[in-house]
Amino acid sequence: MPPRPTSILKAIIMGPPGSGKGTVSNRIVTKFSLHHISSGDILRHHIRNNTELGVEAKKFTSSGLLVPDNLVTKLILSELKQIEDRSWLLDGFPRTVSQAEELDSNYNVDVVLNLDVPFDTITDRISKRWIHPASGRTYNLDFNPPVTAGKDDATGEDLVQREDDKPESVKKRLELYSDMTKPLLDYYSNQDKVVSFSGTETNVIWPHIQSFLQKKTGSD
């Protein structure tokens, strides 16, 4: 079992799609025993279990609509109330300043971990991802390319690139992320709570995050 932090830590992790945020979050949770709270996972859990909030959220998702900010906030706060004696890592929440203000009215966030990965690096990384639709096997032209270009190793069938993985789509997603998160980063920066970790590879960034959190939590 990893050691529990000597003090309760309330943290948020932010990073653009393709920045390695999922991998970093898993490492933080494993190393420091933080409770990982993903807004997407929480939303799906409530909908699947037909909770009162889940039923309300499903009215929007079933119609292809975004769940309103105030409802997502209720979902997250209901989860946090259950773990008030534990350290946690928020992932995917807050997304707006209004959500951040509501969170602040209930909890004192200690730190916002911001993954600062160049957009060119992310675009290049994601745009080199190809999949075999039938099996879901994923290839990357740099890290694990197929034996035969454009073909699945097991079946020899054609590989395809998802629309979301094409360079122009990735750039649009990153621009949208930047526009959405800038006000949020400014909000927390004004409170001196943002700590940014820059780099192009997760394994290069991670040691700096680990060292920072060790000092922050008083763990070895």
Structure tokens at 210: 């680990």
* Residue 44 is a catalytic residue: no
* Residue 162 is a catalytic residue: yes
Cβ atoms of 73 and 59 within 8 Å: the answer is no
Q: Which residues lie below 8 Å from residue 176, measured CB to CB, with a gap of 6+?
A: none
Choose the catalytic residue: 4, 86, 151, 173. 173
Strand partners, 12: 90, 112
Choose the catalytic residue: 44, 58, 95, 216. 95
Cβ atoms of 61 and 67 within 8 Å: the answer is yes
* Residue 137 is a catalytic residue: no
**Could you say which DSSP state residue 164 is in?**
G
Q: Distance between CA 163 and CA 43 in Å, rounded?
A: 25
Closest by CA to 122, choosing from 168, 163, 164, 171, is 171
Q: Distance between CA 54 and CA 198 in Å, rounded?
A: 37
Strand partners, 138: 131
What number of other Cβ atoms are within 10 A of residue 42's Cβ? 21
Choose the catalytic residue: 48, 59, 81, 162. 162
Which positions are catalytic? 21, 95, 129, 162, 173
